[in-house]
Amino acid sequence: MVKCLINSAMVVSVLSCSIANASDNALIDNKEKITRNGVSIYLEPNSPNKQDYLNGKFDKSLELMKKAYKANKNNKTMRASAPPVTEVQILEVESTQGGYEYVLGKSITDQDHGGSYFVVSTGVTGYGGGSYDRAKFAGNDAVQLSSDGIDLTGDNIIDGWLDIWDISKPANISGPFEFTSRSINAPGNSMSTRIQIR
Is 152 strand, coil or helix?
A: coil
What is the C-alpha to C-alpha distance for residues 46 and 117, in angstroms, rounded to an integer? 20
User: Into how many domains does the chain fold?
Assistant: 1
Domain carrying residue 21: 2-197
Starting at the edge strand that comes first in sequence, how are the strands of the sheet with 160-166 ordered? 32-36, 39-43, 143-151, 160-166, 118-125, 87-95, 99-102
Element (H, E) at 195: strand 190-197
Beta bridge partners of 90: 122
What is the pLDDT, as a whole number, of residue 69?
Answer: 81
Question: Residue 64: which of 89, 42, 84 has the closest Cα?
Answer: 89
Q: What is the CATH number of the domain that holds 80?
A: 2.60.40.2870
Beta bridge partners of 134: 180
Strand extents, DSSP E, the chain: 32-36, 39-43, 87-95, 99-102, 118-125, 133-137, 140-141, 143-151, 160-166, 175-182, 190-197
Contact 193, 90 (CB under 8 A): yes
Question: Would you say the pTM of this structure is higher than 0.85?
Answer: no
Contacts for 84 with CB less than 8 Å, ≥ 6 apart: 126, 127, 183, 185, 186, 187, 188, 189
DSSP 108: B
Contact 119, 150 (CB under 8 A): no
pLDDT tens, position by position, 3-55: 333 333 333 333 233 333 334 566 788 889 999 988 999 998 889 889 999 99
Higher pLDDT, 156 or 76: 156
What is the pLDDT, as a whole number, of residue 8?
Answer: 30
User: What percent of the chain clears pLDDT 70, i.e. is strictly above it?
Assistant: 82
Is 86 strand, coil or helix?
A: coil
For CA atoms 29, 35, 38, 39, the dihedral sign is negative
pLDDT tens, position by position, 85-144: 999 999 999 999 999 999 999 999 999 999 999 999 999 999 888 888 999 999 999 999
pLDDT tens, position by position, 133-170: 999 999 999 999 999 999 998 888 889 999 999 999 98
Half-sphere exposure of residue 75, counting CA atoms within 13 Å on the CB side? 22
Cα-trace Rg, the chain: 19
